[in-house]
């Protein structure tokens, strides 16, 4: 059920991003797409590792995985957000 909910959220997010960028006239570069896909894969991998470690009763290791994957998710997401913001600002004027 967790993966179904994650898939639905990711699907709606991608659809919103495509609709929003076309409505605003923003071209999303391949680098932004790559960073967003990497962010999704790293985030889903972190979620899977966290729940797998919790299921194996390795609570300490599970909580230690959170900061590692958080850094892997936050840095590319921030970079992609910054590039999208620059593209949106350039498209406005």
Residue-wise pLDDT tens digits, 32-74: 999 999 999 999 999 999 999 988 888 888 899 999 999 999 9
What pTM was estimated for this model as a whole? Answer: 0.79
In a domain, 58, yes or no: yes
In a domain, 18, yes or no: no
SS3 category, 83:
helix
**Domain encompassing residue 73:** 31-88
Tokens 């299921």 sit on residue: 55
DSSP state, residue 58: -
pLDDT score of 1:
83
Total number of domains constituting the chain: 1
In a domain, 26, yes or no: no
CA distance 88 to 74: 21
Reported confidence tier of residue 28, pLDDT bands at 50, 70, 90:
confident
pLDDT score of 90:
86
């Amino acid at each position: 059920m967790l993966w179904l909910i994650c898939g639905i959220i990711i699907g709606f997010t991608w659809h919103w991003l495509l609709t929003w960028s076309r409505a605003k006239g923003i071209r999303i570069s391949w680098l932004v797409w790559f960073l967003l896909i990497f962010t999704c894969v790293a985030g889903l991998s972190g979620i899977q590792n966290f729940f797998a470690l919790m299921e194996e009763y390795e609570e300490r290791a599970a909580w230690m995985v959170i900061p590692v994957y958080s850094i892997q998710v936050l840095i590319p997401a921030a970079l992609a957000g910054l590039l999208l913001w620059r593209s949106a600002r350039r498209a406005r004027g």
